[in-house]
Structure 1
Amino acid sequence: MTDNVQGVNSVDIAVAILNYIASHHGCARASAIASGCGLSKSRLHKYLVSLSRTGMLRQDENGQYCLGETLIKLADAVPGNQDVITLVNPVLCDFRDRMNYSTGVAIPTSEGLVLRHYHRSFKNVDIDFLDNTPVPLDASAAGLIFMSYGVYPSPSVEERVQIERVRQQGYAVRYKPTHGIPGAQSIACPIRDSHGTLVAIGVTMGFFENDDEIYRVAQELKSALSQIRL
């Protein structure tokens, strides 16, 4: 086998590893990656070392391999992505300033969601997220929006009920704390282009006093994001 062919094969394997991790919400254990990609653990290790060294992957505190900063920066360079963020961020910052609730913008990828930017409220007690944090599809308001407006194959019966409710009200709410997510509740609304395609998700989060406050904040967020023209 020539060096050129070996090089092409190596790229194919590296991309397969990245795609596998992306399809599992941005993080996976080495044993699962090896099984899913049909690689021996020793061969996989060489790729994980190389991808981690270049910033394409990072290892979290639980030993899982997650999509890294370099990969996220490359995604940011895709034409159109930054334009959406540039338009949405000022709207979310203004909402944060008016309502004093933290906000963020999540970007759908081919396999999941990433919280691209987070704008913390001015309250003494609040939660913090790092930019480019992976967002779980099955345990977040943004994930419900993605399921309802994005490309989400074969939803279950329960998920179809949730999707219909979200589409009717135009927003999603995460009421209960979920493992791995701080205890604050969150509200998310879709941001769609002129063709109706989901391009981003606006999120606000905080410690809401009651259902009336959740409804009020959700309507304010819908109204703010409806002013964006893409």
Structure 2
Amino acid sequence: MAETSQGVNSVDIAVNILAFVASQNGQTRAIDIATGCNLSKSRLHKYLVSLCRTGMLGQNEKGLYCLGSTLLQMAGNPAAARDPVSELNTALIAFRDTFNHSTGVVVETDGGLVLKHYNRSFRNVDIDFLPNTPVPLHASSAGQVFMSYSAWRPQDQAQAQLIEQIRSRGYAVRHNPTQGIPGAQSIACPLRNKKGELVAIAVTMGFFSTDEIPQIAGQLVSSVEALHLQE
């Protein structure tokens, strides 16, 4: 009975959070949610992570919490067309909040690959990157994913073998620091549509030991695969 009461209470709190965000013209700061819903920052954080992970809330480029795509679709909002890049970024914000690793979304543009979104970890790191920072094709994990899941053709046997390896395990790794892009090491995996076409690239970056990489990569791939299941 106690577990049932606790579950109902949690639902009430989640609904109150959503109602408060809606009352603020659909976007607001975390500190205002905490005040408006009478929650501590630490307790609110747990709810925000869960609500963002499920698409009930999202975060815009200003860092404000807003009503998520899943909630808008459930409400029958005709303007709530799915934005896979924003949904991926929301999932990566939740990944950052859970594991405290910086994350980013890389997309293809006419000028090449760019870092569309960058979500810095809470570690003592002063490095920051502006949206649309160029991402090198050959020297980045995101570039390796792009070469592996797009129409790009390998230039030699070594590249063909690398692409085969990446497609086999589902992610790419940059082991060494590269000037101009964040993280001493980085891991990237693809977000694809129902046709298997590359939509965007999820990246997490930081100081990863060789032993940590497979586990972190698995966590990243799982976060992105959850978006595929919602299609």
Question: Which TM-score bucket, shorter chain as reference?
Answer: 0.5 to 0.7
CA distance in 1, matches of 2:194, 2:183: 35
CA distance in 1, matches of 2:163, 2:85: 25
The one-letter code of the counterpart of 1:198 is L
> How far 1:166 moved relative to its partner?
0.4
CA distance in 2, matches of 1:207, 1:82: 33
Local SS of the residue matching 1:227? helix
Aligned length: 149
Equivalent runs, 1:13-24 vs 2, <5 Å:
none
CA distance in 2, matches of 1:111, 1:196: 23
> How far 1:143 moved relative to its partner?
0.1
The one-letter code of the counterpart of 2:125 is V
1:226 equivalent in alignment to 2:225: yes
Residue in 2 aligned with 1:74?
none
CA distance in 1, matches of 2:146, 2:177: 19
1:101 equivalent in alignment to 2:101: yes
Q: Kindly report structure 1 stretches of 4+ aligned residues shifted beyond 4 Å.
A: none
> How far 1:206 moved relative to its partner?
0.3
Residue in 2 aligned with 1:127?
127
> How far 1:127 moved relative to its partner?
3.3
Residue in 2 aligned with 1:155?
155
| Deviation sequence 1:109-157 (CA, Å, 0-9, x none) | 3562111010000001263211111111011000000000012134321
CA distance in 2, matches of 1:149, 1:102: 23
Residue in 2 aligned with 1:217?
216
User: For the structure 1 residues 183 and 199, does the alpha-carbon distance in structure 2 shift closer, same or farther, using more than 3 Å as the test?
Assistant: closer
| Deviation sequence 1:48-89 (CA, Å, 0-9, x none) | xxxxxxxxxxxxxxxxxxxxxxxxxxxxxxxxx981222111
The one-letter code of the counterpart of 1:227 is A
The one-letter code of the counterpart of 1:211 is T
1:204 equivalent in alignment to 2:204: yes
> How far 1:207 moved relative to its partner?
0.7
Equivalent runs, 1:45-84 vs 2, <5 Å:
83-84=83-84
> How far 1:176 moved relative to its partner?
1.1
Local SS of the residue matching 1:108? strand
Q: TM-score, normalised by structure 2?
A: 0.60
Return 5+ residue gaps in structure 1 as ranges: 1-80
Local SS of the residue matching 2:116? strand
CA distance in 1, matches of 2:216, 2:140: 17
Residue in 1 aligned with 2:192?
192
Does the Cα contact within 8 Å between 2:178 and 2:184 map onto a contact in 1?
no
User: For the structure 1 residues 225 and 109, does the alpha-carbon distance in structure 2 shift closer, same or farther, using more than 3 Å as the test?
Assistant: same
Residue in 2 aligned with 1:4?
none
CA distance in 2, matches of 1:118, 1:182: 9
CA distance in 2, matches of 1:96, 1:182: 14
The one-letter code of the counterpart of 1:174 is R
> How far 1:182 moved relative to its partner?
4.9
| Deviation sequence 1:181-210 (CA, Å, 0-9, x none) | 4551000000000000000000000011x2
Equivalent runs, 1:133-144 vs 2, <5 Å:
133-144=133-144
User: For the structure 1 residues 107 and 82, does the alpha-carbon distance in structure 2 shift closer, same or farther, using more than 3 Å as the test?
Assistant: farther
Residue in 2 aligned with 1:53?
none
